[in-house]
Every structure is written in structure tokens, then in C-alpha cells.
Amino acid sequence: MRKSKNEAFETMYRQHHSMVLQMCLGFVEGDKDTANDLSQEIFISVWNNLDKFRGASSYKTWIYRITVNTCLQYVKKDRKETPLSKSEIENQTTDKDEEKPKFDDIPKLYSAIGQLKKIDRLIIMMVLENQDYISISEVIGIKPINVRVKIHRIKKRLEKILKNNTDE
């Protein structure tokens, strides 16, 4: 029994680790250490809940729910978090003088995502993961139509942030 649980867990880990870690990176503005800690928390929660998976939703929806909830709970624990200043964001990204196409820099994208509201960060990352409105609504718990409106707003906000960051 334990062996089969281990096997299921390890398969799930291999399949979804990169997705989970990337979402964590986006959530914590590219801070690798924090993202690693957070992804570990998520997989500990996956392990603890593995027996409860009933197949009512897909494994991916299931993992997304755990990822989103763990990320949000993590923020609850950490009150010291402060938004990065513009100069800090610049330092986190690559060479300032290097002219690159608008979205050619993933750290810049992490920084931009990090300037959104916490729930918006997670929603937009699910969109970046090519999840449709219905899947996202199953994770968040609001109607697909509301998800659609929300995503439209978040995209606009993200576009503005990216534009401002590129202009500066």
C-alpha cells in the first residue's frame, strides 16, 4: 500500500514539479530559495492528500488547487513581505543596458507578475499554463464568466506593468 502511494507520488512529482516550481517562482517574484521551499510545501500537501484523490477532478486541477491554496496560505504566514522597489526589480533582472524584445526576459515577467494582487498572480499563471476558463473556475471557485472578466482585467494590468518596466 505504502509502496504504491510512493510510486503514485513520485510519478506525480516528476510530471508536475516544473509547473509547480515555475508558478512558485512567479508568485514570489523569482526568489529561487523561497520558491523551492514553497514547492516543497506543496508536494508535502500533495502527499498528505494523495489518499483523498477520488478522480472527481483531473489530477492537474487537483494539483492546481493545492498549489494555489498553499501559495496563499504561505503569504498568510509571512507578514514581513514587502513589495520590491523598482530598483530591486531592476537588479533582479538582467543587464539594464541590454536591449531585448519586450517579453524576452523571464525574470522581468516574474517581477511583473509579482506586482499583481496575490490571487491575480496565480490566475494569470494558470492562463500562461494554457488552462481554460472552466478549469480555472474549478480551482478558484467562481463562475467561468467571472473568470473571463477577471483575466481580461489582469492581462491589462500586467500589460501596463510590463510596459512601464520596459520604459524605465
Partner 1 sequence: MSSDFKELQSRWASSKKNIELSAANFDNLYKKIKHKEKENYVFYYGTITTLLITLIVISLFFYYVAPVQETLSRIGAGLMIFGLVFRIFVEIISIYKAKQINNLDTTLKAAENSIKFHQFRKTIHQVIAPIIIGLYTVGFYMITPEFSLYMKFWNVVLIDISYVVIGIILFIIIRKGVKKEMQKLQDIMRLKNDITE
CB neighbourhood size of 147 (10 A):
23
For residue 156, give the amino acid letter.
K
Nearest distance from residue 57's CB to partner 1, in Å? 9
Kindly list the residues in this chain that would bind partner 1 in the complex (CB under 8 A).
6, 10, 13-14, 17-19, 21-22, 40, 43-45, 47-49, 52, 62, 65-66, 68-70, 72-73, 75-76, 79, 102-104, 106, 109, 117-120, 122, 127-130, 138-142, 155-156, 159
Nearest distance from residue 91's CB to partner 1, in Å? 20
For partner 1, the closer of residues 87 and 95 by Cβ is: 95
Residue 162 to residue 154: CA distance in whole angstroms: 12
In whole angstroms, how far apart are CA 11 and each of 6, 53, 62?
A: 9, 15, 15
Nearest distance from residue 96's CB to partner 1, in Å? 20
Alpha carbons within 13 A on the beta-carbon side of 124: 22
For partner 1, the closer of residues 49 and 164 by Cβ is: 49
Nearest distance from residue 164's CB to partner 1, in Å? 14
Alpha carbons within 13 A on the beta-carbon side of 132: 1
Helix (H, G, I), strand (E, B) or coil at 43: helix
For partner 1, the closer of residues 54 and 87 by Cβ is: 54
For partner 1, the closer of residues 61 and 84 by Cβ is: 61
Residue 113 to residue 60: CA distance in whole angstroms: 22
